[in-house]
Amino acid sequence: MAQKHYKTNGVWPAAIGFITLAATYGGAIGAVLTDQTLAMAIGWTFLSLKGTMLLATLLGIMRRPQLGWKLFRGRYTFDHKHPRRAAVQAFTRFWWELPQLWLGYMVSQWRNMFGQIDRVETVGGVTFAIEDGRNDGMCKGLSLGSSVNIWLTDHIEGDFQTYVRNGAAQMLMHEFGHTLDSMRLGWGYLIVVGIPSLLSQMVETALHGRHYRHSRLYAERWANKHAQHYFGIRMRDLETDRSDNH
């Protein structure tokens, strides 16, 4: 019975994703064909974003087929374990979260083209483009919609899900937490979370962690709260962890 439920659940998000994507394309093409400047601008913006993503996909797959394909497939992968969340992802991803998804995806395929990622993993419908084993101490995450870029000093070995829960100062769970705010805030994500978070991180780096803690920023606390709720794990109190910079 549970098995049957699980299978049925996968169909709905896929159908919602398909309908949303088709409606968005239809709307964009329709808008381009009107004679209203604003509608045309919106239509062309959407089509340009999709067009550049397609170009990045083709180049990425030509250079590194397996990882390039996995990145592409990630855009159409939703949360298999939580059907309701998957349905929301399927509904919001292709238009409501498009600006950050575009940015994140372009960064991922760009890194892939230049051989800068080692693995691509999808957790809960979120795609992680990861470079691990860096020897310059750089340990960072950039969460943009369902596209998360990760730079790690750790070497990831064994099961990825286990690593997410236990590795690298809970950073991947934290970045996952940001993706829930992307779903909530849509086009506002970059202004409310993305840019303040980036600036806050720069301030912390400039002050060498003295007098200012990036992890205290509201957006960072939101991400931890979401991650804690989703993974059912108590997120470590990042305020006591000096090495945190994400």
Using CB under 5 A as the criterion, which residues of the chain lie in contact with Zn ion when the complex forms?
220, 223, 246
Enumerate the β-bridge partners of residue 150: 130, 141
Nearer to Zn ion, 27 or 209 (CB): 209
**CB closer to Zn ion out of 9 and 245:** 245
Nearest-approach distance from CB 33 to Zn ion, in angstroms: 41
User: Which alpha helices (H) appear in the chain, and where do they start and end?
Assistant: 2-33, 37-63, 65-74, 83-92, 98-113, 160-166, 171-185, 189, 195-206, 218-231
Minimum CB separation of residue 215 from Zn ion in Å reads 8
Residue closest to Zn ion when measured from CB atoms: 220
Spatial CB neighbours of 202, under 8 Å, sequence gap ≥ 6: none
- Closer residue to Zn ion in complex, CB, 97/220: 220
Give the nearer residue to Zn ion in terms of CB position, either 134 or 140. 140
| C-beta of residue 13 within 8 angstroms of C-beta of residue 83 | yes
Q: How far is the CB of 12 from Zn ion (least distance, A)?
A: 31
CA dihedral sign, ordered 86, 87, 88, 89: positive
Write down the least CB distance from residue 38 to Zn ion, Å: 34
